[in-house]
């Protein structure tokens, strides 16, 4: 378990909040407070200060170092100059077990005698301002601020009482017999369901969307086992959906979903192509006893914070795939259009690389403020979409160059993916063939062989 620190700078009823850069690997585009990991030797930065002597030296030292790096502000000097009224331990948050890298995150409130002008590290911070505590909380309530739970708890506590120096609870305590239910955006339920998906992913995001009194949909509840399905049912006991929405027909998006639909006695929503592929792949009786409703481009599915949530067709990875976005584009659930940490497979026969390129470009042009993939955490901005598009364009140029040098499929794979595991090799072959089709070279390769 690693350790980290964060500084909640306050002055009267104002708080200094930042939004992280969208290109960062960890929590891109999230609203947060400045800070970072505790490093070996950080205790040397702490010194002796009456305001902080009661706290662990490593935590205070890390806080001083991180604030200097991110805000260009000398906290130790500010304390010596009596520019700090008090420092309090606001709370400690523990990263949920579902995350591969876990932290104890120690939050400190630092009350200043006057607002300071900070020099932001542009590599880490996209935006930072002094704002009223109530406004920060309203940003979350409006769905304008993507936050992890501890930051949300801090914003809520400060809005309720500007003088509060600590708050509990400061992190979620999860029932082991349930799958965690999170809201990183207000009103948008996020349930990372353990699924039989491809590495590096281990879960498929199941979103619960719908205002109180509105039609509530649960997306892609794909449980890896009957035990996981039981845990998911326990999570849904107080949040029962009115329908299950399947974004596409790949098994890590619908495994055990028919069982759940029958148990809850709710319909399944999907595109007509997805319905046909499900029956073809899993048998004509796969959805017996379930009402299936087709959804299509521009259809209003439900409401989120008073905004219509609209269906968007997203072909390319799968010709029947759909996603969801509210009319104000505060977020866009893009299903398997992109995935953090890896590239998406364009499978045969339902995938089409040329169509995939066009779909990615279309969503980028829409500029949603938050992108939610089926695997991995939600992300602020469209950086991952842009990065994915550049990667695929670069890969396509490599394939074209190597093809014209005389390399064919097996040799292309060896050149492009040296040392790739046997488990992933079939998917690499599919992507290469799909690029060759887009380039108009695959038929020529088949004829030549």
How high is the pLDDT of residue 174? 79
Question: Exposed e or buried b for every residue in 325-336, given b needs 16+ CB within 10 A?
Answer: bbebebbbbbbb
Distance CA 331, CA 344 (A): 20
CA distance 399 to 416: 8
- Distance, in Å, from the CA atom of 346 to the CA atom of 358, rounded to the nearest integer, reads 13
Nearest Cα to 148, choosing from 249, 19, 240? Answer: 19
- At 154-164, the pLDDT tens digits run 999 999 999 99
**Do 409 and 371 meet the contact criterion of CB atoms below 8 Å apart?**
no
211/242 Cα distance (integer angstroms): 12
Q: What is the pLDDT of residue 98?
A: 64
Query: Is the separation of the CB atoms in 45 and 65 below 8 Å?
Result: yes
pLDDT band at 369 (very low <50, low <70, confident <90, very high): very high
Average pLDDT of the chain to the nearest whole number? 94
pTM of the complete model: 0.94
The correct CATH number of 2-160 out of 3.70.10.10, 3.40.50.720, 3.90.79.10, 1.20.1560.10 is 3.90.79.10
Alpha-carbon distance of 271 to 91, in angstroms, equals 46
Angle between helices 353-366 and 425-438 (to 10 degrees): 90
> How much of the chain, in percent, has pLDDT values that exceed 90?
89
Query: Model confidence over 13-55: pLDDT tens digits?
Result: 999 999 999 999 999 999 999 999 999 999 999 989 899 999 9
- Residues 112-121 as b/e (b if ≥16 CB within 10 A, e otherwise) read beeebebebb
Tens of pLDDT, residue by residue over 160-190, are 999 999 998 777 777 889 999 999 999 999 9
In this predicted model, what pLDDT tens digit does every residue of 60-91 receive, in sequence order? 999 999 999 999 999 999 999 999 999 999 99
Numbered ranges of CATH 3.90.79.10 in the chain: 2-160
Q: What count of Cα atoms within 13 Å lies in the side-chain half-sphere of residue 266?
A: 18
State the pLDDT at residue 447: 45
State pLDDT tens for residues 254-292. Answer: 999 999 999 999 999 999 999 999 999 999 999 999 999
Does 243 score more than 90 pLDDT?
Answer: yes
Q: What is the pLDDT averaged over residues 423-447?
A: 86
Q: Rounded distance, CA 15 to CA 387, Å?
A: 33
Dump pLDDT digits (tens) for 195-231: 999 888 999 999 999 999 999 999 999 999 999 999 9
Please write the tens of the pLDDT for every residue from 321-349: 999 999 999 999 999 999 998 989 999 99
When pLDDT is cut at 50, 70 and 90, the band that residue 444 belongs to is: low
Overall CATH class of domain 182-393: alpha beta
> DSSP assignment of 362-414, as one string?
HHHHH--SEEEESSS--EESSHHHHHHHHHHHHHHHHHHHHHHTT--HHHHHH
Residues ≥6 apart with Cβ < 8 Å to 40: none
Rounded-to-5 percentages of helix, strand, coil across the chain: 30, 25, 45
pLDDT reported for residue 423: 87
What's residue 282's pLDDT? 96
Ranges for all domains in the chain classified under CATH 3.60.15.10: 182-393
pLDDT over 80 (residue 443): no
Q: What is the pLDDT of residue 448?
A: 44
Please choose, from the candidates 48, 26, 22, the residue with its C-alpha nearest in 3D space to the C-alpha of residue 35: 26
* Cα-Cα end-to-end distance for the chain: 54
In this structure, how many other beta carbons lie within 10 angstroms of the beta carbon of residue 444?
A: 12
Check pLDDT > 80 for residue 109.
yes
Q: What percent of the chain has pLDDT over 70?
A: 97
Q: What is the pLDDT of residue 99?
A: 65
């Amino acid at each position: 378990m690693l350790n980290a620190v964060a500084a909640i700078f306050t002055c009267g009823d104002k708080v200094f909040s930042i939004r992280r850069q969208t290109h960062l690997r960890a929590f891109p585009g999230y609203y947060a407070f400045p800070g970072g990991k505790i490093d070996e030797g950080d205790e040397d930065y702490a010194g002796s200060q009456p305001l902080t002597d009661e706290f662990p030296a490593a935590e205070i030292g890390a806080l001083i170092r991180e604030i200097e790096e991110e805000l260009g502000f000398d906290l130790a000097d500010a304390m010596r100059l009596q520019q700090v009224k008090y420092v309090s331990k606001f709370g400690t948050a523990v990263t949920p077990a579902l995350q591969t890298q876990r932290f104890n995150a120690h939050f400190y409130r630092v009350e200043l005698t006057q607002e300071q002008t900070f020099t932001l590290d542009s590599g880490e911070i996209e935006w930072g301002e002094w704002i009223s505590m109530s406004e920060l909380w309203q940003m979350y309530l409006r769905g304008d601020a993507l936050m992890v739970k501890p930051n949300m708890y801090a914003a809520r506590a400060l809005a309720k009482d500007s003088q509060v120096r600590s708050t509990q609870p400061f992190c979620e305590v999860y029932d082991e017999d349930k799958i965690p239910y999170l809201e990183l955006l207000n009103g948008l339920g996020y349930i990372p369901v353990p699924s039989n998906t491809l590495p590096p992913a281990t879960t498929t995001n199941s979103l619960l969307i719908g205002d109180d009194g509105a039609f509530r949909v649960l997306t892609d509840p794909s449980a890896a086992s009957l035990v996981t399905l039981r845990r998911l049912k326990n999570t849904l006991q107080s949040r029962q959906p009115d329908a299950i929405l399947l974004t596409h027909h790949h098994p890590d998006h619908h495994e055990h979903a028919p069982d759940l639909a029958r148990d809850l006695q709710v319909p399944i929503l999907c595109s007509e192509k997805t319905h046909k592929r499900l029956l073809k792949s899993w048998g004509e009786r796969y959805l017996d006893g379930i009402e299936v409703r087709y959804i299509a481009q521009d259809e209003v599915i439900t409401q989120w914070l008073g905004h219509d949530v609209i269906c968007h067709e997203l072909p390319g990875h799968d010709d029947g795939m759909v996603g969801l976005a509210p009319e104000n584009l505060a977020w866009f659930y893009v299903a398997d259009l992109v995935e953090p940490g890896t590239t998406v497979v364009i499978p045969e026969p339902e995938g089409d690389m040329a169509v995939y390129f066009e779909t990615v470009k279309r969503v980028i042009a829409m500029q949603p403020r938050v992108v939610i993939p089926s695997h991995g955490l939600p992300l602020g901005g469209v950086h991952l979409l842009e990065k994915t598009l550049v990667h695929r364009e670069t890969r396509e140029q490599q394939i074209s160059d190597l093809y014209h040098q005389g390399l064919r499929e097996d040799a292309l794979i060896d050149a492009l993916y040296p040392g790739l595991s046997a488990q992933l090799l079939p998917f690499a072959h599919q992507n290469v063939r799909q690029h060759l089709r887009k380039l108009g070279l695959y038929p020529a390769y088949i004829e030549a062989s």
